[in-house]
Amino acid sequence: MKSFRRRIHDLYANLRSAVRLYPKIESAPANSKDVTVIPLIEAGSEEISCELEARLNNQTAMSTLIRWPTVNLYRVQNATIVGDQANVFTSDGRWLRVCPSLDYLPLKKVRQPIYLGANRLNMPLFHLSGRDHENHGHFLFQHMPRWLAAQKKMQELNPDFKILVAKGHLKWQSRYLTRTGGAADQMIECGDGTTRCNDLYYIPQLRGKHDCLSRPQDYRAMNEYFHRPQAKTGPALFLSRKDAPNRYLLNEDEAVAEVEKVFGSCRSIQLSKTPLDEQIALISAAPVVVGPLGQALATALFARNSVYINLDGGHGPDSWGDAFRDIANICGNQGLSLYSKTPRTADGSFLFPRVDLHARLENVKRLIQ
């Protein structure tokens, strides 16, 4: 249920939108008197090999070129942040829009500050909220790299900073942050109204506007933090989506049975019911991990020397299917996508024909032996 503050901010945004009083945009913050621009990341690119998928599709070579832009760390004094996505406004009321994810946010939906009764946080804050913060896959792929890229610089600039995360998500996001150098008492939640902050540090996402992923080195750093080296003695894992709100594999039980036939013992798990430590242990020991397209495949960040198989509807390719495959390859696994060649439903669900799935899994097994 929406809080009173959020309802008021939504009403205020709707009223301003009705008369076209949209927020003014600050896209060149170097010109703002309260913003200091700190160079952080130079633009670059890296080619990621997709060898297993290439061999499966009888291609001589296949790779992904991951590019990232030049990224700055912005120190914003006398800032205002609004909502659980923590949109940042400068002291003159301009919306700081330097992150590629914000280009898709319509101006009429941007909640604007209500200064009367605003909260105040009088400590240096590192901003780690933003669009799609509530999804584990987006948080790991697009927000955690912001933290890893800026962590050392933040220690140099102000070691007493707090990490600002989205309201209602501290419990699970802190599990990732404490494994990557953050302290439990260092994290606080933003509100769903307006908050004034005298010293805010903000870094946009390290990716292009139309890209899913940022610098591969940040994912490898996460893998170093998360992976638990051990022998591949566990069963194959199937990452269930039965607890998801949409994009189901409609014959999931049949798919699990086929994975078991091809690869031996198979354990199906729902990540929502599996503690993070257990997830890491199971993933680290699994020789093969299979799952329908979705955030559970982000567990490739925990794995090394495994085979990661993404199942999806349609004929492919799919940008997020490619992203999950690429993460697996970046972290030292063999990743690939198998497309059902059957249509997706309106909510993204699909059926993977059992005979076809069995034959293609057998091909994968032959290639990895």
Any idea what the Cα angle at residue 214 is, between residues 37 and 299, rounded to 5°? 130
Shared domain for 167 and 239, answered yes or no, is: no
**Of the candidates 34, 30, 195, the residue with the CA atom closest to the CA atom of residue 123:** 195
Q: Is residue 61 part of a domain?
A: no
Q: Does 2 have pLDDT greater than 80?
A: no
Q: How many CB atoms lie within 10 A of CB 196?
A: 18
Shared domain for 165 and 123, answered yes or no, is: yes
Shared domain for 272 and 317, answered yes or no, is: yes
Task: State the amino acid at position 311 in one-letter form.
Answer: L
CA 233 to each of CA 151, 279, 280, 307: distance values in angstroms, whole numbers, following the listed order: 35, 15, 14, 14
pTM, entire model: 0.94
In this predicted structure, what is the pLDDT of residue 176? 98
- Total structural domains in the chain? 2
Return the structure tokens found at 259: 């994975």
- Look-up: residue for tokens 């390859």? 329
Q: Is residue 64 part of a domain?
A: no
Would you place residue 1 in the very low, low, confident or very high pLDDT band (cuts 50, 70, 90)? Answer: low
Pick the more confident residue, 107 or 333: 333
Q: Is residue 237 part of a domain?
A: yes
Q: How many CB atoms lie within 10 A of CB 362?
A: 14
Last residue of a domain, one of 170, 188, 212: 212
Shared domain for 121 and 247, answered yes or no, is: no
Last residue of a domain, one of 212, 244, 260: 212
Q: Is residue 13 part of a domain?
A: yes
Task: State the amino acid at position 288 in one-letter form.
Answer: V
Residues 6+ apart with CB under 8 A from 260: 236, 266
Shared domain for 198 and 330, answered yes or no, is: no
In this predicted structure, what is the pLDDT of residue 36? 96
Are 310 and 324 a contacting pair, CB within 8 Å?
A: yes
Q: Is residue 156 part of a domain?
A: yes
> Distance between CA atoms of 152 and 221, rounded to whole angstroms?
13
Last residue of a domain, one of 180, 212, 244: 212
* Domain enclosing residue 336, as ranges: 227-368
Shared domain for 271 and 206, answered yes or no, is: no
3-state secondary structure of 314: coil
Q: Is residue 257 part of a domain?
A: yes
Q: How many CB atoms lie within 10 A of CB 159?
A: 8
Once rounded to an integer, what is the mean pLDDT over residues 278-285? Answer: 96
Shared domain for 18 and 83, answered yes or no, is: yes
Shared domain for 138 and 179, answered yes or no, is: yes
Q: Is residue 221 part of a domain?
A: no
pLDDT averaged over the chain? 95
Q: Is residue 54 part of a domain?
A: no
292: which strand partners? 311
Return the structure tokens found at 357: 């799935």
pLDDT tens per residue across span 150-159: 999 999 999 9
Shared domain for 257 and 299, answered yes or no, is: yes
Shared domain for 204 and 231, answered yes or no, is: no
CA 90 to each of CA 100, 196, 202, 221: distance values in angstroms, whole numbers, following the listed order: 18, 10, 12, 33
Return the structure tokens found at 206: 């390290």
Residues 6+ apart with CB under 8 A from 304: 223, 227, 229, 284, 331, 332, 333
CA 212 to each of CA 28, 200, 209, 252: distance values in angstroms, whole numbers, following the listed order: 24, 26, 9, 26
Shared domain for 173 and 37, answered yes or no, is: yes
